[in-house]
Structure 1
Amino acid sequence: MARKIKLNTVQRKEARKREENYLKDLETRVEEYDPKTANAKFFKDLPISSHTLKGLSEAAFIKLTDIQRESIPLSLKGYDVMGAAKTGSGKTLAFLIPILEKLYRERWTEFDGLGALVISPTRELAMQIYEVLTKIGTHTSLSAGLVIGGKDVKFELDRISRINILVGTPGRILQHMDQAIGLNMSNLQMLVLDEADRCLDMGFKKTLDSIIGNLPPSRQTLLFSATQSNSLSDLARLSLTNYKSVGTKDVATTKGETEPATPKTLQQSYVISELADKLDVLFSFIKSHLKAKIIVFMSSSKQVHFAYETFRKMQPGISLMHLHGRQKQRARTETLDKFSRAQQVCLFATDVVARGIDFPAVDWVLQLDCPEDVDTYIHRVGRSARYGKKGRSLIILTPQEEMFLERLKAKKIEPEKLTIKQAKKKSIKPQLQSLLFQDPELKYLAQKAFISYVKSIYIQKDKEVFQFDKLPTEEYAMSLGLPGAPKIKIKGMKSIERSKELKNSSRKLQALSKADNDGEIRDQTKEVRTKYDKMFGRKNQTVLSEHYMNVTGQQAAPSDDEDDFMTVKRKDHVLNEDELPELSLPSSNRAQRKALSKKASLSTKGNASKTVFDDEGVAHPVYELEGEEDFIKKGDAETQKKAYLEKESEFMNNADSADKALAKEKRQEKKRKRLEAMRREEEGQYSDDEEDDERQVYLGTGNLSDDMHDSDESDAEERPSKRGRFTNTSSDSESDSEDDKYGVTELEEPQTLEDLESLTSRLLQ
């Protein structure tokens, strides 16, 4: 490391003066900059500081995108900005660069408190924003922090008071605003909402209102998303009155027409399939695209979990991953990292990664379930074809959901229709039924997936597209491998909205809201439930059963069935002492040893015999002797013996011939693989110079036993035998030279006793 040079007072004053002049010049450049006349193409053409430019160049950000060219100059001048651009157009840098420049020009330090707040609707997007911020802000003296759910709260509380730029999700930010003592929001300069339309919807309404209520109204606010909300009530909540709009959902062209909000390099298509055939289409699609990087979007986490577990057991030939909001944060982070680095992989995911996440080189985006609206469709397909690269998308619609194509057409999005080749389509329904029959856990997941999908259709707002009454529930249940459609208890819409609000609200605030009328918080130590209490409180986790309440003796809900499958007839199992036999300890030592020894106690009871039960439930010994009359009816003993031996001989001969044929086939296959490997190795040697030193590696034949046998044979060929020192040499001169080279004496193998004696004397000399 370079040694830091200490400056005297005069030098420090000159450095401060140069810094003041540089900041004044930077302010002047910002004021005089006109994006219409400047026509900037690179970041160096913008009026930004050298520290930010250096960080951008080191992170390989050189060229400007359209949204960056239009929004950054307005943000630098202090305007409130509402920006909308296509997915993958670089909106993250469009608000991170103004944050760094604003705090740098204000000479922000750790003693000034929080200067900028960035709110993201999902944890994964917040992590991505924080990573980009740390890359481009390495040469600034500002401090940044990331606060999301699933992380250590105490660790964040100890450091959040010294943070200048805070990136996080709404729930965790509100929790720190309530608990962190040193978090001061009164001096906030900038508020940024990434994916603003998602942050402003009903799920985050109360949380976001609570956050904004604690922020100063004089701040600068930036809103960015691929699909923007123009609701006046939403803008009023954010104190946006005089703002600049940059980009729209439909970008105008020179002819006056409009272009879709999806990238031009994205090839969009759709197929029409029955609901019961969707999993067959998905499995067939994966099998025919084994060398691609695929994201499969589903409507619920239960469906993602079921598809991942079942497809993993069926082994389609490609790496499988799954990602949804019910996973632990560590698992979600690891899956994101592995999927980003992989090249041939299929990811089953919910809409938790549909917005803003930058996955490199995604080939296909497949939507197994129809999205709730066009905005969700745009965000989903935006995971591919980012930054001008090519990509493809496919949406699978049922005949009832074809109306969704009209919704897309209204937004100038017209995907191409594809037809499924029946020869390439493979039905996996028998395999799913077999898996569910063998594993009760998979059956439980299938039932949960069925229920969650039906409920997701029920709560959709667009009833023309999502027709709940026309769902083929029985056929869909059969396609999941279930014997029939499970019963579903659907709550009302009010309770569903209430559960959504509770899900997105802070648990700490829920606990505080349960205070008594006198203002004191109730003693909740009595209501604390450990993990063991929750474990014992679960009801029949492996297999769903309607008769659990009957078994446990609790009051069950009224059923429409005529007879219960399992009922408890008797509940008073108290035994009277008079009915119990008298138990007394044997008096003698011999009797006590006999009572305590299992072997001695069995000696008086005879040999134990095993029994088997026939179809009627009658017990029979395992080796039951045949009656004499039945034996006589079948003929004499010699005839029966001869027939039995002939039958067994025929069976053994057939088995022997089958084993020989199998062994012969294995030998031929082994020989063929060995010859094929030798041919490939020779071709690889010949083509080393021709194909730019391309190397080929062969990892076995696919059969572990064959590989081990081959390796043993190859090792035996390479290793010297146990009699290796007694090798027959054709030339004494050659052997002498080799002896001198390696210090090893090679002698002929003795054939007679005289040869052995002469060899012994020679070795002794």
Structure 2
Amino acid sequence: MAKKNSKKANIDKALNSGKIKKDEKEISQNPEEEEQQEQAQNVVGGKKRKRDSDNEEHAPPQSPQKKANTSNFVDMSSEESKFGEEVELNYSFDSLDVSEQTKKAIVDMGFTRMTEVQARTIPPLMAGRDVLGAAKTGSGKTLAFLIPAVEILFKLKFKPRNGTGIIVISPTRELALQILGVAKELLKYHQHTFGIVMGGANRQAEVQKLLKGVNLLIATPGRLLDHLQNTKGFVYKNLKALVIDEADRILEIGFEDEMKQIIKIIPNENRQSMLFSATQTTKVSDLARISLRPGPIYINVDQEKETSTVEGLTQGYVVCDSDKRFLLLFTFLRRNLSKKIIVFFSSCKSVKYHAELLNYIDTPVLELYGKQKQQKRTNTFFEFHNAEKGILLCTDVAARGLDIPAVDWIVQYDPPDDPRDYIHRVGRTARAGGRGKSLLFLLPSELGFLRYLKQAKVPLNEFEFAKGKIANIQTQLEALISKNYYLYQSARDGFRSYLTAYASYSLKSIFNLNNLDLQKVGKSFGFSVPPKVDINMGVSTKEQKSGRRAYKKNEDSNKKDYYLKQNSKSGSRQWSR
């Protein structure tokens, strides 16, 4: 304990020496002062399948929906359907032809005016049309599909014995839980049942609930397919609508095969479908073609906008050498302890290490990443969601769709290698018309990434930080890591995972492992001399489907060579001192 207090005292001494003060003005630009500061310079400007276990009591209610238009699929690159153009937009929720129960719930939720995606999407969905919607994160699309979904259940008088009438598919557990929360509020005055099935949760408890009848079911793809294939008594033959939220993300993380199987299993006749995606890709188009009926409406509320990110978002980047990265991050966080901040990292073990370190040196943070147990992830999400201030360290598991209120800052400590990932990350702040700020860390060798952001219509300013005001705690940090066994092991794992993640970036011309100064990278993890680690450059076919972050580690880290080597057969590289 004395050693720990000694390390903390050294760090506190650095804090109090004038290098960093908690009460100082923020080191980044305020939106109000942005135009007056000359430091910031613009640089970017299906087959049908029926179940044999049907019972008379599960007979479906008669649907009032009309058959869909059988015209050709609307090309995703074309203009919005005439249906959307001819209807004059009314942004008032009072204008919607919905049940009194739904109207009352909307009032209780505090909403009076619809967002653009809601105003454009809800009317055609209420008319029974299939919709492919493209909108930025934070645009309010959750209510855009839940309101029509609830009204379908209401009009058809769905009861538990009718089984599942609506399925909402979400890419991640956290987003699924969030949708469940909104659905609970929206169904407050309705009698319809709702529930969730997702990986990591108690499967038997889910089975019991499905057997009782879940009218509105929110699910992650893998667990939903599991129940469709294996849960006897799961009544889904009366399915009236399928919602696929964050379709691009579902496909990016490797659920393409599962989605195809799900669509083959669920009823296809008279099923309305709603597909939402923040970005449009060939795979999203293919999924739309097999899941939507002929003649769907394509609604893109962002097509004519000059930027790909929401208004009210102040975005900047800072150029920083590897050995100064953690010092700058630490300084920034200590100066903004009264704010709500999300910090993105490229790997789970890097998140774990930095969370352990920051908590140890009295900078309280929460951590959220994919390999956590589900209960831990759920508790962390809701703790940060409900907090007025705090710091959340996370991987991209939190980057898509999550609606966390009043986030002041998005910090991308490890940059993404795709502008789309950048857009999804910053979409956690300035949501629903609010304001927020983002900060992107870049190495000098990574400045070429700005060209890709410019092409993606992402406006960025350069933020400058006075070197004299950055906390110089490197000596104390290295002493702490060298003497604390558990922190050393965690730092070593984080260091290895950072290099492995970096090696898996697709933009090799910008994010090149050979361009990294390992001595400086090691210092950012608290090492005076970088440890010997092995990384495996080979990625299996299945992992490639799961995207950049599904890298594969080489567990053998006990080789005796002390130089960088590359094995041409295995693709394994060894980094050492």
Normalised by the shorter chain, which TM-score bucket?
Answer: 0.7 to 0.9
Match of 2:8 in 1: none
Q: Does 2:305 correspond to 1:270? A: no
1:204/1:499 Cα in 2 relative to 1: closer, same or farther (>3 Å)? closer
CA offsets 1:345-393 (integer angstroms, 9 cap, x no match): 1111111111111111111111001113111111111111111111111
CA contact (8 A) 1:370 1:401 kept: no
CA contact (8 A) 1:340 1:359 kept: yes
CA contact (8 A) 2:115 2:140 kept: yes
Match of 2:161 in 1: 111
1:127/1:498 Cα in 2 relative to 1: closer, same or farther (>3 Å)? same
- Counterpart of 1:433, as a letter, is E
Match of 1:378 in 2: 423
1:330/1:42 Cα in 2 relative to 1: closer, same or farther (>3 Å)? same
1:473/1:115 Cα in 2 relative to 1: closer, same or farther (>3 Å)? same
Match of 1:100 among 141, 146, 150: 150
Q: Does the residue aligned with 1:355 lie in a helix, a strand or coil? A: coil
Q: Does the residue aligned with 1:259 lie in a helix, a strand or coil? A: coil
Shift of 1:35: 7.7
1:545/1:238 Cα in 2 relative to 1: closer, same or farther (>3 Å)? closer
CA contact (8 A) 1:270 1:418 kept: yes
**Cα distance between partner residues in 2 of 1:243 and 1:166:** 23
CA contact (8 A) 1:217 1:239 kept: no
Match of 1:300 in 2: 347
Match of 2:105 in 1: 55
Shift of 1:170: 1.1
Q: How does 1:57-72 map to 2 (within 5 A)?
A: 57-72=107-122
Match of 2:182 among 102, 111, 132: 132
Shift of 1:458: 1.3
- Counterpart of 2:258, as a letter, is T
Match of 2:401 in 1: 356
Shift of 1:236: 2.9
- Counterpart of 2:190, as a letter, is T
Match of 1:243 in 2: 296
Shift of 1:45: 0.2
Higher relative contact order (Cα pairs below 8 Å, separated by 6+ residues): 2
**Cα distance between partner residues in 2 of 1:290 and 1:239:** 47
Match of 1:204 among 232, 255, 260: 255
Shift of 1:235: 2.5
- Counterpart of 2:487, as a letter, is L
Q: How does 1:110-509 map to 2 (within 5 A)?
A: 110-161=160-211, 162-201=213-252, 203-218=254-269, 219-231=271-283, 232-239=285-292, 241-248=294-301, 250-252=302-304, 258-316=305-363, 319-482=364-527, 483-494=529-540, 497=543, 500=546
CA contact (8 A) 2:91 2:114 kept: yes
Q: Does the residue aligned with 1:191 lie in a helix, a strand or coil? A: strand
CA contact (8 A) 2:252 2:546 kept: no
Q: Does the residue aligned with 1:455 lie in a helix, a strand or coil? A: helix
CA contact (8 A) 1:251 1:260 kept: no
**Cα distance between partner residues in 1 of 2:181 and 2:497:** 34
CA contact (8 A) 1:473 1:485 kept: no
**Cα distance between partner residues in 1 of 2:386 and 2:394:** 17
Name the TM-score, length of structure 2 as normaliser. 0.78
Q: CA RMSD in A?
A: 2.6
Shift of 1:195: 0.8
Q: Does the residue aligned with 1:269 lie in a helix, a strand or coil? A: strand
Q: Does the residue aligned with 1:118 lie in a helix, a strand or coil? A: strand
CA contact (8 A) 2:307 2:459 kept: no
**Cα distance between partner residues in 1 of 2:132 and 2:557:** 52
Q: Does the residue aligned with 1:94 lie in a helix, a strand or coil? A: helix
**Cα distance between partner residues in 2 of 1:191 and 1:396:** 39
**Cα distance between partner residues in 2 of 1:485 and 1:473:** 10
The percent identity for this pair of structures is: 36
**Cα distance between partner residues in 2 of 1:561 and 1:38:** 70
Match of 2:131 in 1: 81
Match of 2:41 in 1: none
Q: Does the residue aligned with 1:311 lie in a helix, a strand or coil? A: helix
Specify the structure having the higher radius of gyration (Cα): 1
Q: How does 1:516-595 map to 2 (within 5 A)?
A: 546=558, 559-560=560-561
Shift of 1:70: 0.4
Match of 1:41 in 2: 91
**Cα distance between partner residues in 1 of 2:103 and 2:282:** 33
Shift of 1:178: 2.6
Shift of 1:426: 1.7
1:217/1:355 Cα in 2 relative to 1: closer, same or farther (>3 Å)? same
- Counterpart of 2:400, as a letter, is R
Q: Does the residue aligned with 1:227 lie in a helix, a strand or coil? A: coil
Shift of 1:489: 3.3
- Counterpart of 1:60, as a letter, is G
1:348/1:156 Cα in 2 relative to 1: closer, same or farther (>3 Å)? same
- Counterpart of 1:414, as a letter, is P
- Counterpart of 2:94, as a letter, is K
Q: Does the residue aligned with 1:145 lie in a helix, a strand or coil? A: strand
Q: Does the residue aligned with 1:446 lie in a helix, a strand or coil? A: helix
Q: Does the residue aligned with 1:348 lie in a helix, a strand or coil? A: strand
CA offsets 1:99-134 (integer angstroms, 9 cap, x no match): 111222223222322111101111111011011101
Q: How does 1:609-688 map to 2 (within 5 A)?
A: none
CA contact (8 A) 2:499 2:535 kept: no
Q: Does the residue aligned with 1:492 lie in a helix, a strand or coil? A: coil
1:240/1:419 Cα in 2 relative to 1: closer, same or farther (>3 Å)? farther
CA contact (8 A) 1:200 1:234 kept: no
Number of residue pairs the alignment of both structures matches: 477
**Cα distance between partner residues in 1 of 2:464 and 2:344:** 20
CA contact (8 A) 1:290 1:344 kept: yes
Q: Does the residue aligned with 2:421 lie in a helix, a strand or coil? A: helix
**Cα distance between partner residues in 2 of 1:108 and 1:287:** 53
Shift of 1:185: 2.8
1:368/1:158 Cα in 2 relative to 1: closer, same or farther (>3 Å)? same
Name the TM-score, length of structure 1 as normaliser. 0.59
CA offsets 1:625-664 (integer angstroms, 9 cap, x no match): xxxxxxxxxxxxxxxxxxxxxxxxxxxxxxxxxxxxxxxx
1:237/1:447 Cα in 2 relative to 1: closer, same or farther (>3 Å)? farther
- Counterpart of 1:497, as a letter, is E
- Counterpart of 2:265, as a letter, is N
Give the structure with the higher percent helix: 1
Q: Does the residue aligned with 1:71 lie in a helix, a strand or coil? A: helix
CA contact (8 A) 1:42 1:64 kept: yes
Gaps of 5+ in 1: 1-19, 28-32, 253-257, 505-538, 547-556, 563-765
Match of 1:643 in 2: none
Shift of 1:47: 1.7
**Cα distance between partner residues in 2 of 1:561 and 1:64:** 61
Q: Does the residue aligned with 2:432 lie in a helix, a strand or coil? A: coil
Shift of 1:336: 1.7
Shift of 1:452: 1.0
